């Protein structure tokens, strides 16, 4: 079948904003459909437009047998009203072409998504590449009754079938040839000169921090170390990929898995480097050294706060005393340590946030990032309220800003965020250290370019502007 696989824009109004993450799940779904013999046209409208007529035009240009619309993707949540408008527009433009949503959701959250999208006729969910292949097989046969992980709108209401149990090792290498990874956002701590290739070793997370986008998704599921190494080798072979981002929301849940993975990666003897995101209570010096020996150059620690009460109220279950040892262990192993902070956790206060910023600066990580907590409307918490409108494309955490009880309007949170960036990045000691590093690194030109791009990003965020590439 000819498949139009569409990633909708996060917004249909306001200025266009470059997405920071490629639509990873869409690329996996596209690869699975191609492997099953279908032809796939993948369009990431988030890269192109905020206008419905452009989306309709793109769809109309290519004749297809079925339209699949991503309901969300890796670090991409789309406001239901935007998504519903897009779906309505596509159905109006091609009323005879079957249209289904696609998303990595559980059965209950898929039902909720169908309820929030009254124009959507049906949706595949679960681990979506498997459900999508089953859907297309069933469409070809004209009988949808055996498809697992399918929600359908019928006259009697919404029906759902449980998604099948799957082995992620059967999941294909994403169809990155259908997208240009160079088009996506840049992060100072992850991007040397070349393109960064995302790889998912697992999906989901066993923890349940209340703001996190993994909420509402299927349970944590992992691939085998060899399957992940095979994907890295394949991307290196196919595209000459050198720099990888292990994009798991939480890389390294199991220590033995990481050690096994690193051993296999080392044995592959590739000239590559990689980064990942993890928790400080999952790290020690030996593990950091094992990762460094396997090509890891950068670890982002999801710390969020050094206020134990706020961490507890947010469901983070992290001991703040683990943060500094982990940062030091990473740096001792030669890795760059990045600390990620959330401003506005339930139970936090303006003073608590300032103390977290003080503490992070004192630890001297290589980089830090500061986000205002943003959550979809369903993620309510008794210790605060949603403030402001839905921010879609601008941040890694789409949704409404969340203000804990001790905070006033959203502007107060944004002010603290800008102040955090200014305090961390515009310190003479930080700038001096980074400048000194240029001359210590083997390739001073590459390092200087990286630093210049990072500085531009940090300054624009300190000023509260949307960073450009
Ligand atoms: S530990 Fe990280 S990935 Fe897991 S739920 Fe919390 S914020 Fe999300």
Closest by CA to 422, choosing from 372, 467, 370, 469, is 370
139 CA to centre of ligand 1 in angstroms: 37
CA-only gyration radius of the chain, Å: 22
The DSSP result for 72-128, as a single string, is EETTEE--HHHHHHHHHHHHHH-TTS-EEEE----HHHHHHHHHH-TT--EEE-SSH
3-state secondary structure 155-199: CCEEEECCCCCCCHHHCCCCCHHHCCHHHCCCCCCCCCCCCEEEE
pLDDT of residue 469: 46
Cα four-point dihedral sign 95, 101, 102, 107: negative
- The residue nearest atom 3 of ligand 1, judged by CA position, is 249
208 CA to centre of ligand 1 in angstroms: 6
- What's the burial of 19, exposed, middle or buried (CB within 10 Å: 0-12/13-18/19+)? buried
Question: In terms of DSSP bridges, do strands 273-278 and 243-246 run parallel, antiparallel, or are they unpaired?
Answer: parallel
402 CA to centre of ligand 1 in angstroms: 17
269 CA to centre of ligand 1 in angstroms: 31
> Does the C-beta of 212 come closer than 6 Å to ligand 1?
yes
Query: Tokens 């050690």 belong to which residue?
Result: 259
C-alpha–C-alpha distance, residues 370 and 396, integer Å: 11
- The residue nearest atom 6 of ligand 1, judged by CA position, is 209
Domains of the chain, CATH where assigned: 2-160 (3.40.50.2300), 186-462 (3.80.30.20)
C-alpha–C-alpha distance, residues 98 and 388, integer Å: 36
pLDDT of residue 392: 64
C-alpha–C-alpha distance, residues 457 and 447, integer Å: 15
What interhelical angle do 410-425 and 444-462 show, nearest 10?
150
**Ligand 1 pocket mutation pick from 203, 213, 214 by most atoms within 8 angstroms of CB:** 214
- The residue nearest atom 8 of ligand 1, judged by CA position, is 212
pLDDT tens sequence for the chain (469 residues): 999 999 998 888 777 777 888 999 999 999 999 999 999 999 999 988 888 888 888 877 778 999 999 999 988 888 899 999 999 999 999 999 999 999 999 999 999 999 999 999 999 999 999 999 999 999 999 999 999 999 999 999 999 999 999 999 999 999 999 999 988 876 655 555 678 999 999 999 999 999 998 888 999 999 999 999 999 999 999 999 999 999 999 999 999 999 999 999 999 999 999 999 999 999 999 999 999 999 999 999 999 999 999 999 999 999 999 999 999 999 999 999 999 999 999 999 999 999 999 999 999 999 999 999 998 877 789 999 999 887 765 656 678 899 999 999 999 999 999 999 999 999 999 988 888 877 666 667 767 776 776 666 666 666 666 554 4
Give the contacts of 303 (CB within 8 A, at least 6 positions apart).
280, 318, 320, 323, 339, 340, 341, 360
330 CA to centre of ligand 1 in angstroms: 20
C-alpha–C-alpha distance, residues 369 and 359, integer Å: 14
The separation between the first and the last C-alpha atoms of the chain, rounded to the nearest angstrom, is 37
> Does the C-beta of 120 come closer than 6 Å to ligand 1?
no
20 CA to centre of ligand 1 in angstroms: 19
């Amino acid at each position: 079948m000819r498949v139009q696989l569409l990633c909708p824009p996060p917004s249909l109004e306001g200025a266009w904003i470059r997405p920071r993450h490629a639509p990873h799940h869409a690329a996996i779904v596209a690869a699975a459909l191609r492997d099953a013999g279908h032809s796939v046209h993948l369009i990431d409208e988030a890269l192109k437009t905020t206008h419905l007529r452009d989306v309709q035009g793109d769809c109309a240009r290519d004749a297809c047998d079925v339209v699949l619309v991503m309901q969300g993707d890796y670090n991409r949540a789309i406001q239901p009203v935007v998504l519903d408008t897009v779906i309505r527009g596509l159905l109006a433009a091609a009323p005879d072409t079957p249209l289904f949503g696609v998303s990595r959701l559980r059965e209950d959250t898929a039902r909720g998504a169908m309820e929030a999208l009254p124009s959507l006729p049906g949706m595949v969910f679960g681990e979506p590449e498997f459900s999508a292949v089953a859907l297309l097989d069933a469409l070809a046969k004209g009988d949808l009754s055996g498809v697992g992980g399918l929600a359908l709108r019928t006259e009697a209401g919404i029906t759902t079938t449980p998604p099948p149990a799957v082995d992620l090792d059967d999941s294909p290498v994403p169809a990155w040839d259908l997208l240009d990874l160079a088009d996506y956002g840049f992060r100072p701590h992850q991007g040397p000169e070349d393109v960064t290739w995302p790889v998912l070793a697992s999906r989901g997370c066993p923890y349940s921090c209340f703001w996190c986008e993994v909420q509402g998704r299927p349970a944590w599921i992992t691939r085998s170390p060899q399957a992940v190494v095979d994907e890295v080798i394949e991307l290196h072979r196919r595209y000459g990929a050198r720099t990888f981002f292990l994009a798991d929301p939480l890389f390294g849940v199991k220590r033995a898995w990481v050690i096994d993975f690193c051993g296999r990666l080392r044995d592959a003897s590739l000239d590559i480097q990689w980064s990942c995101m993890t928790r400080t209570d999952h790290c020690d010096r030996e593990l950091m050294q094992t990762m460094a020996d396997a090509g890891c150059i950068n670890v982002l620690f999801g710390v969020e706060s050094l206020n134990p009460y706020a961490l507890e109220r947010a469901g983070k279950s992290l001991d703040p005393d683990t943060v500094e040892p982990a940062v030091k262990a990473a740096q001792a192993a030669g890795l760059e340590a990045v600390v990620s902070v959330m401003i506005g956790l339930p139970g936090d206060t303006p003073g608590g946030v300032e103390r977290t910023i003080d503490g992070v600066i004192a630890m001297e990580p290589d980089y830090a990032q500061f986000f205002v907590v943003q959550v979809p409307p369903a993620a309510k918490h008794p210790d605060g309220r949603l403030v402001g409108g839905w921010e879609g494309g601008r941040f890694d955490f789409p949704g409404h800003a969340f203000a804990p009880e001790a905070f006033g309007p959203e502007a107060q949170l944004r002010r603290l965020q800008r102040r955090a960036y200014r305090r961390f990045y515009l310190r003479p000691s930080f700038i001096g250290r980074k400048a000194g590093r240029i001359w210590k690194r083997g390739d001073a030109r590459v390092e200087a370019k990286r630093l210049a791009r990072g500085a531009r990003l940090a300054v624009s965020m300190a000023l509260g502007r949307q960073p450009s590439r």
